[in-house]
C-alpha cells in the first residue's frame, strides 16, 4: 500500500453508541469506514456525520451472526471502499437474567452475536489483512468478563472474546496483524439505558449511582472507548498485540 492510500475500516454495530463514536473517530483519523449494523437505514446518521466532516463512509446492513450476510457485507466493502484491513467487532446485545431464569434462546442469542459474530467477521476479513501484510483487529470485551450477576451469557461471551483476541494475536502476528480487546466499564449508551429501564430506574439516577462506584466519579462516554480503539488501530501500535485494556475509569482485573 502506498502511504497516500486510505486504509479501510469496518466497524460493526455502528449505527449508534460506542460503534458510532468509533466509526466517526476512525474516519477523523483518515480511514474510509464501513458502518455495519443490522438495519442499513439505521446507519445513515453515522455515515452523514462522517461525510459532513469531509470523511468517507458507507452504510452496510448485515447480521454479524449470519455467515452469508457477513460474506456479502465484506465483499461489498471491498468492492466499494477497497480491501478492509481494520476491523472493530463491536456489535452486541444483552439478554440479562439470573441463571435459573435464563432461557436457552437468550443464552444462544448473546453467544451468537458476540462470539460467532466476531469469529465470522474476523474470518472473512483476515484474508484481506494477510494479503496487505498489515491489519488491526479490536474486539469489544467488557468489565462483565470478570463476572456480573444476571449476565451468565454476556460475561461468558465477553470472557470468550478475550481468549479469541489472544489467539488471533498469536496466529496472525506473522502477517503484520495485531489483535487487541477493549473492555469498557459503564458507558452511557442505549445498552445501559435499557438496563436502567429493566431495573425501573431513570437513566440519570442510574448513571449518578454508577458514578459513585467509579474512581474518576463519572460514567464513560462512547468517545472514551473510541479513543482507546483509535490507539489500537493506529500505525504506531504495531508492537501492541494480544492485550486486554479495561477502560472503566479505574482499575479492574
Residue by residue, DSSP assigns 60-124 as EE--TT-HHHHHHHHHHHHHHT--EEEEEE-------B-GGG--HHHHHHHHIIIIIHHHHHHHH
Give the SS3 label for residue 231.
Answer: helix
- The reply on whether position 214 binds ligand NAP by CB under 6 A is no
CB of 71 to ligand NAP, least distance (A): 14
CB of 192 to ligand NAP, least distance (A): 5
- Kindly determine how many residues on this chain lie close enough to bind ligand NAP according to the rule CB under 6 A: 28
Show contacts with ligand NAP in window 146-185 (CB under 6 A). Answer: 184
Cell numbers describing residue 214? 467509579
Show contacts with ligand NAP in window 50-109 (CB under 6 A). Answer: 63-65, 90-93
Cell numbers describing residue 61? 446492513
CB of 139 to ligand NAP, least distance (A): 9
Determine phi and psi for 79, rounding to 5 degrees: -70, -45
CB of 90 to ligand NAP, least distance (A): 5
CA-to-CA dists, residue 143 to 15, 148, 203, 251, angstroms? 23, 8, 20, 10
Catalytic residue among 107, 119, 134, 154: 154
CB of 3 to ligand NAP, least distance (A): 32
Specify the residue for cell string 472503566: 248
Q: Which is nearer to ligand NAP, 18 or 177 (CB)?
A: 18
Length of the chain: 253
Cα separation, 38 vs 76, whole angstroms:
15
- The reply on whether position 249 binds ligand NAP by CB under 6 A is no
CB of 79 to ligand NAP, least distance (A): 20
Contact (Cβ atoms closer than 8 angstroms) between residue 199 and residue 205: no
Give the SS3 label for residue 54.
Answer: coil
- The reply on whether position 113 binds ligand NAP by CB under 6 A is yes
- The reply on whether position 24 binds ligand NAP by CB under 6 A is no
Nearest to 244 by CA among 174, 163, 154: 163
Cell numbers describing residue 10? 469496518
Specify the residue for cell string 469506514: 33
Residue nearest to ligand NAP (CB): 17
Q: Which is nearer to ligand NAP, 63 or 132 (CB)?
A: 63
- The reply on whether position 191 binds ligand NAP by CB under 6 A is yes
User: Is 154 a catalytic site residue?
Assistant: yes
- The reply on whether position 19 binds ligand NAP by CB under 6 A is yes
Q: Which stretch binds ligand NAP (CB under 6 A): 27-35, 75-83, 164-172, 190-198?
A: 190-198
Q: Which residues contact ligand NAP (rule: CB under 6 A)?
A: 12-13, 15-19, 37-39, 63-65, 90-93, 113, 117, 140, 142, 184, 186-187, 189-192
Q: Which residues are catalytic?
A: 154
Amino acid at each position: 500500500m502506498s502511504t497516500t492510500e486510505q486504509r479501510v475500516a469496518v466497524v460493526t454495530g455502528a449505527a449508534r453508541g460506542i460503534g458510532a463514536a468509533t466509526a466517526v473517530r476512525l474516519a477523523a483519523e483518515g480511514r474510509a469506514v464501513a458502518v455495519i449494523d443490522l438495519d442499513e437505514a439505521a446507519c445513515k446518521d453515522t455515515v452523514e456525520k462522517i461525510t459532513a466532516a469531509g470523511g468517507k463512509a458507507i452504510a452496510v446492513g448485515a447480521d454479524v451472526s449470519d455467515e452469508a450476510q457477513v460474506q456479502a457485507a465484506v465483499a461489498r466493502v471491498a468492492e466499494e471502499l477497497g480491501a478492509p484491513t481494520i476491523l472493530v467487532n463491536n456489535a452486541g446485545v444483552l439478554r440479562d437474567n439470573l441463571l435459573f431464569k435464563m432461557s436457552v434462546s437468550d443464552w444462544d442469542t448473546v453467544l451468537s452475536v458476540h462470539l460467532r459474530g466476531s469469529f465470522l467477521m474476523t474470518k472473512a476479513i483476515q484474508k484481506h489483512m494477510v494479503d496487505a501484510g498489515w491489519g488491526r483487529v479490536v474486539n469489544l470485551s467488557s468489565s462483565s468478563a470478570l463476572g456480573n450477576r444476571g449476565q451468565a451469557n454476556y460475561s461468558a461471551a465477553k470472557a470468550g472474546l478475550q481468549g479469541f483476541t489472544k489467539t488471533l494475536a498469536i496466529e496472525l502476528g506473522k502477517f503484520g496483524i495485531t489483535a487487541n480487546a477493549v473492555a469498557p466499564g459503564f458507558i452511557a449508551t442505549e445498552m445501559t439505558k435499557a438496563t436502567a429501564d429493566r431495573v425501573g430506574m431513570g437513566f440519570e439516577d442510574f448513571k449518578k449511582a454508577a458514578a459513585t462506584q467509579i474512581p474518576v466519579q463519572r460514567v464513560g462516554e462512547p468517545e472514551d472507548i473510541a479513543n482507546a480503539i483509535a490507539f489500537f488501530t493506529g500505525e504506531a501500535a504495531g508492537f501492541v498485540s494480544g492485550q486486554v485494556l479495561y477502560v472503566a475509569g479505574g482499575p479492574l482485573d
